[in-house]
Amino acid sequence: MNFFTMTRRGHIVPKKSTKNQCKTQGHKKYFYEVKIVFSGLVELDKNGFIVKHEDLDKAIKASPAVGSCEQVHLDLRERLHRFFADKKLNWYVKGFKCTIYPTLSDINEGAFMSCIYVKNGSSPEVVGLLR
């Protein structure tokens, strides 16, 4: 089996402040990292790409990023599923991992949370690639 992995990093600016954030009310932004595992059989577009990472970033930045990290992850998961469906990539996506890092007021502190989605029937290698 062979796979392609794609990693995209960026940031999301919350649309509004909420009270259920871990450290402070109203994180100014979340940094994110998304790692996607595609089947090695994925068809490339006419320019030789699986997907443009700018399009992926745009879909993620559309998130309102409100609520707890868990709520932000649930929203991102749904956005990614819709993105893959719109790009006709559902069959080729074997799994993905989202990690978000809220900006904290003290730069010496850090926190992050990850959420891993693995498609039913995917091989154990997919989980290893998402670590």
- Tokens matching residue 62: 């559309």
Measured CA angle at 115 (ends 39, 60), to 5 deg: 75
Residue environment code for 100-120, b if the CB has 16+ CB neighbours within 10 A, otherwise e: bbbebeeeeeeeebebebbee
Tally of domains in the chain:
1
Chunk the chain into consecutive blocks of 10 residues (it has 131) and report each block's average pLDDT, rounded to whole numbers: 93 73 63 94 93 94 80 88 94 93 73 84 82 79
**What pLDDT score does 26 carry?**
55
Nearest residue to 94 (alpha-carbon basis) of 70, 125, 54: 125
Contact 10, 65 (CB under 8 A): no
62: number of Cβ within 10 Å: 13
Q: Is the pTM of this model over 0.75?
A: yes
Range of the domain at 9: 3-130
Say what the pLDDT of residue 107 is. 67
Question: According to the model, what pLDDT value does residue 111 have?
Answer: 75
For residue 70, what is the domain's CATH number? 3.30.479.10
- The whole-number pLDDT of residue 102 equals 79
